[in-house]
Structure 1
Amino acid sequence: MSTAYVLSIFTIVIIGMILLITKLKLHAAISILIASIGLGIGLGTPWEELEGTINSGFAGTIKSIAIVIVLGCILGKVLEETGAAYQITNYALKLFGEKRVIWAIGFSSLILGIPIWADTVVILLIPIVSLLAAKTGKSMMAYGTALYLGALVTASLVPPTPGPIAAAGLLGVSLADAIIWGLIVAIPSVFMAVLYCNTLDEKVLPKEEYLTQTYFLNKKLPSLASSISPIILPLVLIILNNIVNALLPGTKVANLFAFIGSPLAALLTGCIFSLALTGEEWKSKKVLNDWVEDSLRSAAMPIVVTGMGGVLATFIKNSGVAEEIAELVVSFNIPGIIIPILIAALIHVITGSNALGVMTAAALVQPMLDSLNISPLAAFLCCATGALMFKHTNSSGFWVTVTMSNMDARQGLKSVGIASTIAGFTGAIITIILYAAGII
């Protein structure tokens, strides 16, 4: 097959996949599956091998991330339901002071975005942010956007939210590296986004309905230590595993940490610790069964989409498309580090989902890593930052933030659209600098 034919089939398949998702509103999982089968057939995969390739690609991808995603969703659910998210926000407000409320909002949102979906962070905290806007006389354009952007950035860059877990799994990046470097890139990205939010002074008042919501405000909240420990503990265990195995390789201590510092055991430990937040309710059916069932529903979509992304990556790897694209990149003198950023940004802008952007871009880029001459870690950060670019009207998170912050579409594009682009661009530039310096 000629290079032109291979690239044409690949382009047609990817465009078709995006149209299925955006125009026909077909679920991403089925759209990626159809695209994978189409690519396999178009590039000559024998009919009798299609099913086996699909199954092996799916199973090989989700085997190391499915349980981790489930545990991450359970942890997020407990933090939502117990008021721990409110407590972390309250502490951030005390830490930063009344004159720097917007930074407290961005900081607390950044932390909460690690285990909780960004949309959910907005829904959880919009009452307290609305009260703060009313008290300080600031615009909800600024406060509402800062609330969303902090969580959006870490939900795209830092496990255990499903998007970065899936991307790390697809690219073969350890979760310890994904967490450490994700945070290194996320913090300045959020800083620049909140800095922009601080300039938004167009008068937008909070919705009255949120000013009267006092459920968590009148409820006895858990302590700060118990609120934040289920988030911090798994991250510490995962990082300690890397440190201990680097300093004491092959020892009994290192072998022990290889398990207790594994993503599965670390997140399970965080989930067990989070039961302390529920008080006497921890033995109830609501906590031990109903919350887990809700979490399983939340985890199903990213697990299946990630598995389908693995199927697509397998067909790309088997077909030689990666090499053809890499040769094209070289012929046009495009730096390899730019390609994952562009792919993730394109998918995100078209589909509106940063999780889908980072996962699908990771699946597409993984077979190209050697040809593009970039490391899996660099590709991970590129996919995650590219998938932040220009959040707009086809995104559920955009509308959750805009409507709950009492903005119209124009104000939303000016606030959320530009702030997300600033965050993504900042993260991408930092990633490129780290790559150029030979650090990642």
Structure 2
Amino acid sequence: MVLILILLLVISFIVLTTTRLKFHPFLALLLAAFLAAFAYGIPAEDIAKTITGGFGGILGYIGLVIVLGTIIGVILEKSGAAITMADTIIKLLGERYPNLTMSLIGYLVSIPVFCDSGFVILNSLKESLAKRLETSSVSMSVALATGLYATHTFVPPTPGPIAAAGNLGLESNLGLVIAVGIPVAAIAALAGLFWAERFKHIEPDGTVESSALHQDWQALRDTYGQLPTAFQAFGPILFPILLICLGSIAKFPSHPFGTGSTLDVLSFLGHPLTALLIGLLMTWPLLKSHNKMTEFSERIAEGITAAAPILLITGAGGAFGAVLKASPLGDYLGATLSALGVGIWMPFIVAAALKTAQGSSTVALVTTSALVAPLLSQLGLDSEMGRVLTVMAIGAGAMTVSHANDSFFWVVSQFSRMKVGLAYRAQTLATLVQGVTTMLVIYLLSLLML
């Protein structure tokens, strides 16, 4: 009981320092690792070694992948690739189902581009379509936001799911995480779309003074100059995902693509680091300046800057997890939870509590995955598929719920001209529906596959 009390106090410390004291999550997680190490009686001479080992261990596996994925996202965002993606989907689906169209656009754009940025970029498209089709912009806002949110929490190479997969020992099998994450994220997007339909006759109740919020879609398109083709826009993210999935399939025990040199080539190309490096090289045609090498270097620098906080949070989460693994907590808590039979629900509940308390989905993904990694065997989740479904359960918790302490909540509400009350009913409850619905599906999958 004392071991659980210490854990609750440490988690409370993380929540308090990140919400009330406004500590950066990196510092909060690092301090929590030291506090947990002392509280659990780890020898003083081993504490620094355990923390640095956990920090370096997770980044050694997954750090470069996070950086490359972030750089690709920056280049796609700056080049107008998100605009091309949106136009391509509208041409395919037409304008008969505006909410479905916005949800699908968000679903695809948020794989390479952070959901906050994706919503800002696509806001004028959403407003333009709502006006032209005489439909509710509130409904379309929720459809777009929940579509963005779905892949943001489930599908690598988005940094949160990558970090969670790394903490759970899946860094060499991201293809399986992607293969499961894509349909799970689709279910989350459909759940959000279902909720969005409830607001088809609700109009915004707030006004926000900013020309950027009301920018015409055509005017926004024009600011990017010559837009990339559909292949150029989708290629740098979908081709690496295809390579990663093929690499994972090639390593199945049945060796469906054969052995020998074929297996070696697919394994090499399908490694996340190799695949994303190829994806980065595929962004070269998206560069628009006359001196492409200079622009490329600038975009890489921007990507590294954007990735730095995620790397630090991920590394600190790895350090926190290493301390918990070295403590006696794992055996005790695992046996207790096994007796309760919570299984796959445990990571969901922890991630949802952390997300709701401190607001960041990435922090919830990293912290929860570090916390549950030592408990997988006791929870009956130590198989390859068990680990993948654990990533999914943590992702479902990390979207439950987005409210006033989440920057994405304010992006959606402000750019959609929704007052806080309406935003809680539309956006916050949508994320609750997404998280719970998706978790129920993940639970059913665990019954069938574990």
Distance 1:211 1:20, change over 3 A: closer
Partner of residue 244 from structure 2, selected from 231, 238, 244: 238
Name the counterpart of 2:174.
Answer: 175
AA of the residue aligned to 1:358: L
| 8 Å CA contact 1:95, 1:104 repeated in 2 | no
Q: Quote the Cα distance in structure 1 between the aligned partners of 2:144 and 2:291.
A: 30
Q: Deviations over 1:259-285 (max 9, x none)?
A: 211101101111111111225546242
Matches within 5 A, 1:387-398: 387-398=398-409
Select the residue among 221, 224, 227 that pairs with 1:217: 221
- For residues 325 and 66 of structure 2, what CA distance do their matches in structure 1 show? 25
Cα pair 1:141 1:411 within 8 Å, conserved:
no
Partner residue, 1:204: 204
Corresponding residue for residue 436 of structure 2: 425
Q: Does 1:85 align with 2:82?
A: yes
- The CA deviation string for residues 285-343 of structure 1, in whole angstroms up to 9 with x for no partner, is 2x212211111111111111111111111111111212222232244x24211100000
Summarize the alignment of residues 239-278 of structure 1 with structure 2, pairs less than 5 Å apart: 239-245=245-251, 246-248=255-257, 250-278=259-287
1:67 Cα offset (Å):
0.7
- Structure 2 distance, partners of 1:63, 1:162, is 15
| Long gaps (5+) in structure 2 | none
Please give the alpha-carbon distance, in whole angstroms, between the structure 2 residues aligned to 1:199 and 1:99.
Answer: 17
1:89-104 equivalence runs, <5 A: 89-104=86-101
Residues 225-259 of structure 1 show CA distances to partners (whole Å, capped at 9, x for unaligned) of 22111111001111111223332565112112222
> How far 1:363 moved relative to its partner?
0.6
Residue 360 of structure 1 and its aligned partner are, at CA, apart by 0.9
Between 33-42 and 143-152, the greater mean CA deviation after superposition: 143-152
How far apart are 1:137 and its partner, in Å? 2.2
Distance in 1 between the 2:290 and 2:163 partners?
32
Q: Is the 8 A contact 2:236 2:283 kept in 1?
A: yes
Contact kept? 2:40, 2:328, Cα under 8 Å: no
2:314 is the alignment partner of 1:306: yes
> Retained in 2: the 8 A contact 1:168–1:175?
yes
Contact 2:14 2:29 in 1 (8 A): yes
Counterparts of 1:146-185 in structure 2, within 5 Å, are 146-173=143-170, 174-185=173-184
Instruction: Tell whether 2:44 aligns with 1:41.
Output: no
1:211 to partner: Cα distance: 3.6
1:14 Cα deviation after fit: 1.4
Structure 1 stretch 126-135 or stretch 276-285: which is displaced more? 276-285
User: In 2, Cα distance between the equivalents of 1:137 and 1:406?
Assistant: 17
Give the AA of the match of 1:164.
Answer: P
Which range moved further: 353-362 or 322-331?
Answer: 322-331
Aligned AA (1:196): W
Q: State the Cα RMSD in Å.
A: 1.6
C-alpha contact (below 8 Å) 2:284/2:296 kept by paired residues: no
Which residue among 395, 409, 415 is the counterpart of 2:426?
Answer: 415
- The amino acid of 1:244's aligned partner reads A
Spell out, residue by residue over 1:343-364, the C-alpha distance to the aligned partner (whole angstroms, 9 max, x if none). Answer: 0100000011111111111110
In terms of mean alpha carbon deviation, does 272-281 or 255-264 score higher? 272-281
Q: Which amino acid aligns with 2:230?
A: L
TM-score (norm 2): 0.93
Distance 1:37 1:243 in 2: 40
Equivalent pairs: percent with the same residue? 28
1:347 equivalent in structure 2: 354
The 8 Å contact of residues 276 and 282 in structure 1, kept in 2 or not, is answered as no
The count of residues paired between Structure 1 and Structure 2 equals: 434
Change (3 A) 1:281 1:392: farther
Q: State the one-letter code of the partner of 2:221.
A: L
SS at match of 1:247: coil
Q: Tell me which residue corresponds to 2:393.
A: 382
Instruction: Tell me if the contact between 1:61 and 1:170 (Cα under 8 Å) persists in the aligned partners.
Output: yes
SS at match of 2:96: helix
SS in 2 for 1:217: helix
List gaps (5 residues or longer) in structure 1: none
Aligned counterparts of 2:313 and 2:259: Cα–Cα separation in 1: 36
Report which stretch shifted further, 400-409 or 419-428.
Answer: 419-428
CA–CA distance in 2 between the matches of 1:46 and 1:280? Answer: 56
TM-score w.r.t. the length of structure 1 is 0.95
Distance (whole Å) between structure 2 residues aligned to residue 256 and residue 282 of structure 1 = 34
Partner Cα distance (2:78, 2:10) in 1: 42
Which moved further from structure 2: 351-360 or 134-143?
134-143
The list of structure 1 runs, each at least 4 consecutive aligned residues, that deviate by more than 4 angstroms after superposition, is: 205-208, 279-282
**Is the 1:143–1:197 Cα contact (8 Å) retained in structure 2?**
yes
